[in-house]
Structure 1
């Protein structure tokens, strides 16, 4: 509970509260469980008993919940009788319950797509069952499942959550401009994919529009999705012969006539079609993110674009918490802006422009491990001065490598700290002015720090050499690839040495 003189509360109920948690925002038009309330009231003294009956619609097992706002500035009009704008979940100060039993019941419900983590809770019976007449009335239950604004926000937030998770899983995806990992990222790319008037000739936008038509539908018949995708792509710039080859390949894979081989989903072919192939084969965003062939991830462009399409199709609300949870704050703000102001392109672009900062941060597992000794930023240039020495450790370590580094760091002097640089590199910062008596000279301390860094990176170097000895490095394509609308020419089919063996067409 806040200590402000005047507190403001938004009422919800047991069922609708999960809608709020799964979408990270509170809409003026309540979601499922409260569709009989046309607009959410704003209360300054708590919930009256007559209003509690309206909120629950008299359903057995249902109970009211109050959402206390952090401050009056969370409302467009502090003294308004009804909520006038969409609020991100971060604006909620406390979720208030009538009784401890109701809080325990709510907390005991476990869902993959909704979590109470990070949301403060409290029990305050005095805020419920107040005397007086109801200040709002129930209306006819809305037959509309979601408003157009809610769907748009759910789709764009689902896309963003999937992209950020893809960059977290796929190390190479962090260098793709569309993922906002490098300077020059343009938020317009995502806004074009989610546009209400997509370019019908652009394959990427056409596929994005198809996924939006299937919003919220998981587990679709793959053949039906394939047929619809081919119908959409025939009106784009994709060559007919390429579509025919794609049709034969995907049908063969679905019928188990063909099997995917290592490298078949690399970025050296048609990226949109290869991403679509992955979306057709996998039911959910989580399935796409976990897709491997002999332990090998798809190409970063294919992987990222497939995640984009799946994220739009699945939507934020249905997406598991382990995918969207680490980015809840940004997704809540983006969802509130997209639902409340879908035509405010500058505002959406500004929020999407922060994707770089969000994605440049360490992976959630790494952040938890480094929090005690992680500083905000540092220069990565090695230099030796009178006070500070900075030595590079490694770039974008895996959680396992990061844990080894910080476990080893626990045995080092207190003035040794790991710093996450702006380019994503972990460096060791030695502050000599704060040195203890472990080393008698700065030179000895620097030598010890170099040994520490070498030990931290030795295993990574061995793995790299081992991988190079077994498999030669791929020659990078000199032609830069960007999304959306990346289409390469279909390679000519090679003559098979075994005429009886059926080989899938290559895209």
Structure 2
């Protein structure tokens, strides 16, 4: 297993690099995103900046409802807007990479930020050495450049603050969904047994009745009316809308969601949901133990995952349930990891977990946000790709999101009953199997004289029987058709000439069952005779004449 995406941390610029950047170069237009000290920490923790940034406390610089991008530097009027009369909210410029493209949705990603630009060394120190759990201020390159501040002119942007935390904006959805994906991947780092379950959840290989990423995104963007999807809609909405909610508050939200989305005709579904609410309240109040009896992969994986996600806050806690005396199921734990991320969000995730994958997560978040804007509930499918490679006994899958490798896992193939039956016969009879045949369910067998024949599975009336095949060597010239017919017309040959679908000549022998090992000698002898009867022996290779070593006559 591998969980890819670790990026090298950016280092502060050297003095020489800073001096080089301060030298004006007419071919390079520098662009910045303006913010202040307090908001910068939150914006960078979210790994992408868009007009739908989910934190309602951030005052976002916007131009015509788009993320503001300014050139040259910051004007005095703009710095005053950002500070809002509070010196501790000093302005910072996020300088963007020269090749930055905001795209149709005007999104700035963590990977797009070349460096932070400060007005003074004291302000740089105040930002960089402030301890924050959600972001490491020293993880981004920086420089002090007073000339980029104090420019003249009117403000080129306005500050907008979100005031509707209950509204699931696209930015909010992406922040929560990517956090769910990240929590699942983190779980696989210490619990590789969860890899197949996580892979199926993310790649949408689960069947239509199972909880997966595509269903979660569809429910969050356009809740389905079908009863089977109503339960999933209630669960993902409750977790995605959780903002510092306690387990009891989440249970209340889920109970309300079940009631609002359920069907009056679905008595069975209502009973299941009501029972789940009672159990969840008992577990939260420590009146019932939370272990494998309630968290196995039997019955509803979604509801059991919701029960586990109520009581946990990260991959470490989830791993503890997987290794408990009565362990939770891998499918339940994997789905619970997604819900844990969904209730926490990427902004609030600790940097020690998301930092090593910051650029990868930023790419995924940006791609998902752009896809949501264009494709709605089908967004997940647009950013996921899965490849596979087969071996004899297993299939190895590789999953990428937004073109970035995410996880790899291996699954053993289900035993093939036909393969197993023939393999059993080969072992019982003592056959030497030397490889696979040319068609499905065929095997190469070595005869006593080292000839290789192909055993092909055939069936008639529900019973299986072997067809033996032997291909003539390329250097054997076929005899004339009339001569071959004459050689075989009287029968008694065991092997008979045939032509396959591609027109290639071969000899075949149909038998009701594999012969005993002692009879393979007879088959080998009969095969040699049949080869001579339908083809001419190869022409002898002419040997070059030796040069005479005698001296020429005088």
TM-score (norm 2): 0.55
Deviation at 1:106, TM superposition (A): 1.1
Match among 53, 78, 94 for residue 51 of structure 1: 78
Q: State the partner residue of 1:490.
A: none
Whether the 8 Å contact between 1:288 and 1:307 is mirrored in structure 2 is: no
Distance 1:221 1:287 in 2: 22
Whether the 8 Å contact between 1:47 and 1:128 is mirrored in structure 2 is: yes
Cα 1:120/1:241, change in 2 over 3 Å: same
Q: State the partner residue of 2:156.
A: 136
Q: State the partner residue of 2:286.
A: 256
Distance 1:35 1:70 in 2: 20
Runs of 4+ in 1 over 6 A off after TM superposition: 181-187
Q: State the partner residue of 1:88.
A: 109
Distance 1:326 1:96 in 2: 23
Deviation at 1:70, TM superposition (A): 0.8
Deviation at 1:307, TM superposition (A): 1.6
Match among 143, 160, 178 for residue 157 of structure 1: 178
Distance 1:250 1:54 in 2: 48
Whether the 8 Å contact between 2:34 and 2:69 is mirrored in structure 1 is: yes
Q: State the partner residue of 1:351.
A: 383
Deviation at 1:155, TM superposition (A): 2.2
Distance 2:191 2:268 in 1: 28
Deviation at 1:244, TM superposition (A): 4.7
Cα 1:63/1:340, change in 2 over 3 Å: farther
Match among 342, 355, 364 for residue 312 of structure 1: 342
Distance 1:268 1:108 in 2: 49
Distance 1:275 1:336 in 2: 27
Distance 1:26 1:55 in 2: 16
Cα deviation per residue 1:95-127 (whole Å; 9 max; x = unaligned)?
111122212111222222222354222221221
Match among 114, 118, 124 for residue 97 of structure 1: 118
Whether the 8 Å contact between 1:170 and 1:300 is mirrored in structure 2 is: no
Q: State the partner residue of 1:269.
A: 299
Distance 1:178 1:209 in 2: 22
RMSD: 3.6
Flag structure 1 segments of 5+ consecutive residues without an equivalent.
78-83, 362-507
Distance 2:275 2:78 in 1: 62
Higher share in strand? 2
Distance 2:253 2:298 in 1: 24
Deviation at 1:133, TM superposition (A): 1.4
Deviation at 1:65, TM superposition (A): 0.7
Higher normalized contact order (CA 8 Å, seq sep 6+, divided by chain length): 1
Distance 1:250 1:137 in 2: 48
Q: Describe the SS at the equivalent of 1:68.
A: strand
For the pair 1:34 / 2:59, whether they are aligned, the reply is: yes
Whether the 8 Å contact between 1:275 and 1:302 is mirrored in structure 2 is: yes
Distance 1:72 1:181 in 2: 31
Deviation at 1:291, TM superposition (A): 4.3
Larger radius of gyration: 2
Cα deviation per residue 1:42-85 (whole Å; 9 max; x = unaligned)?
222111223222222232311111111112442459xxxxxx60
Cα 1:150/1:243, change in 2 over 3 Å: closer
Whether the 8 Å contact between 1:13 and 1:63 is mirrored in structure 2 is: yes
Mean Cα displacement is larger for which, 18-27 or 227-236? 227-236
Distance 1:182 1:233 in 2: 24
Distance 1:193 1:323 in 2: 27
Task: Spell out the pairing of 1:314-333 with structure 2 (5 A cutoff).
Answer: 314-333=344-363
Q: State the partner residue of 1:447.
A: none
Task: Spell out the pairing of 1:58-457 with structure 2 (5 A cutoff).
Answer: 58-76=85-103, 85-116=106-137, 118-130=139-151, 132-136=152-156, 138=158, 143-144=163-164, 148-176=169-197, 177-180=199-202, 188-201=214-227, 202=229, 203-212=231-240, 214-221=241-248, 223-225=251-253, 227-228=255-256, 230-231=258-259, 234-235=262-263, 239-282=269-312, 284-285=313-314, 288-292=317-321, 294=324, 297-340=327-370, 342-345=372-375, 348-353=380-385, 354-355=400-401, 357-360=405-408
Flag structure 2 segments of 5+ consecutive residues without an equivalent.
1-17, 386-399, 410-554
Whether the 8 Å contact between 2:179 and 2:345 is mirrored in structure 1 is: yes
Distance 2:206 2:298 in 1: 23
Distance 1:43 1:349 in 2: 35
Q: Describe the SS at the equivalent of 2:272.
A: helix
Distance 1:16 1:262 in 2: 43
Distance 2:267 2:132 in 1: 42
Query: How many residues matched?
Result: 353
Q: Describe the SS at the equivalent of 2:73.
A: coil
Q: Describe the SS at the equivalent of 2:302.
A: helix
Cα 1:248/1:37, change in 2 over 3 Å: closer
Cα 1:230/1:48, change in 2 over 3 Å: closer
Whether the 8 Å contact between 1:69 and 1:92 is mirrored in structure 2 is: yes
Whether the 8 Å contact between 1:199 and 1:206 is mirrored in structure 2 is: no
Whether the 8 Å contact between 1:95 and 1:121 is mirrored in structure 2 is: yes
Distance 1:141 1:270 in 2: 40
Match among 1, 15, 28 for residue 5 of structure 1: 28
Q: Describe the SS at the equivalent of 2:309.
A: helix
Q: Describe the SS at the equivalent of 1:96.
A: strand
Distance 2:336 2:270 in 1: 22
Cα 1:141/1:111, change in 2 over 3 Å: closer
